[in-house]
């Protein structure tokens, strides 16, 4: 099983090491000043991420909503917390916060695709940080177990978004929805056909 681990560096050294030494092939994060090194993800993780990226990129560009980014793009919540979410969305009104190396502050949407090496962090520390820094919507998606969780942050805490029937409706994009059957059978679905249905 893939694992994650800490290097035990102080914040100043961890942040310097993160920006100076990490490459596009590395999956590193800084959580509360600790540098976390994750091992590579499974193939199903990559396939599922590409499925979502195809749907969301088509939808977001068609609607002119903002910009979509994906790992290893960096979200800098503050000087102690530097994350590389699997996918994150920045609305038009927040694009000014995009810097050369990172997004400064919380994005509007974060999508974390769970895997054995990252689930502890994604559902624990990172969940709490995303909540505290007011990420508007969070998706925790596990394609291996076919478990799908969606949260909205209208105030100071995340609230679970209930699935109506088989359909998730986004709290940040009016009219956007995902059928759970699409996620359950992502390897058999056409993401571009789904995107065309959504617009």
Per-residue pLDDT tens digits for 40-82: 678 999 999 999 999 999 999 999 999 999 988 999 999 888 8
Half-sphere exposure of residue 70, counting CA atoms within 13 Å on the CB side? 12
Residue 130: predicted pLDDT = 96
Residue 39: predicted pLDDT = 65
Taking the C-alpha atoms of residue 173 and residue 101, their distance in angstroms, rounded to an integer, is 27
Report the candidate in 137, 142, 37 with the shortest Cα–Cα distance to residue 82: 37
Q: What's phi and psi for 122, nearest 5 deg?
A: -60, -40
pTM of the model: 0.84
Residue 26: predicted pLDDT = 52
Residue 10: predicted pLDDT = 45
Radius of gyration of the CA atoms of the chain, in A: 16
Residue 149: predicted pLDDT = 97
Residue 189: predicted pLDDT = 98
Residue 6: predicted pLDDT = 43
Taking the C-alpha atoms of residue 176 and residue 55, their distance in angstroms, rounded to an integer, is 11
Give the chain's residues under pLDDT 70: 1-33, 35, 37-40
CATH architecture of 42-198: Alpha-Beta Complex (3.90)
Q: Are 73 and 100 in contact, with CB atoms under 8 Å apart? A: no
Q: What's phi and psi for 3, nearest 5 deg?
A: -130, 165
Q: Are 166 and 180 in contact, with CB atoms under 8 Å apart? A: yes
């Amino acid at each position: 099983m893939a694992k994650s681990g800490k290097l035990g560096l102080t914040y100043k050294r961890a942040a310097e090491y993160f920006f100076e030494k990490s490459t596009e092939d590395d999956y590193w994060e800084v959580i509360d000043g600790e540098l976390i090194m994750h091992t590579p993800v499974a193939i199903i993780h990559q396939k599922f991420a590409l499925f979502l990226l195809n749907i969301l990129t088509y939808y977001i560009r068609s609607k002119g909503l903002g910009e979509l980014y994906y790992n290893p793009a960096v979200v800098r919540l503050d000087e102690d917390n530097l994350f590389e979410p699997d996918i994150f969305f920045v609305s038009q009104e927040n694009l000014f916060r995009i810097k050369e190396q990172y997004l400064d502050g919380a994005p509007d949407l974060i999508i974390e695709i769970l895997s054995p090496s990252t689930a502890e962090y994604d559902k624990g520390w990172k969940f709490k940080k995303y909540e505290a820094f007011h990420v508007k919507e969070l998706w925790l998606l596990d394609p291996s177990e076919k478990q799908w969780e969606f949260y909205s942050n209208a105030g100071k805490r995340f609230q679970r978004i209930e699935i109506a029937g088989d359909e998730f409706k986004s709290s940040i994009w009016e009219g956007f929805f995902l059928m759970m059957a699409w996620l359950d059978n992502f390897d058999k679905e056409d993401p571009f056909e789904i995107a065309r249905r959504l617009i």
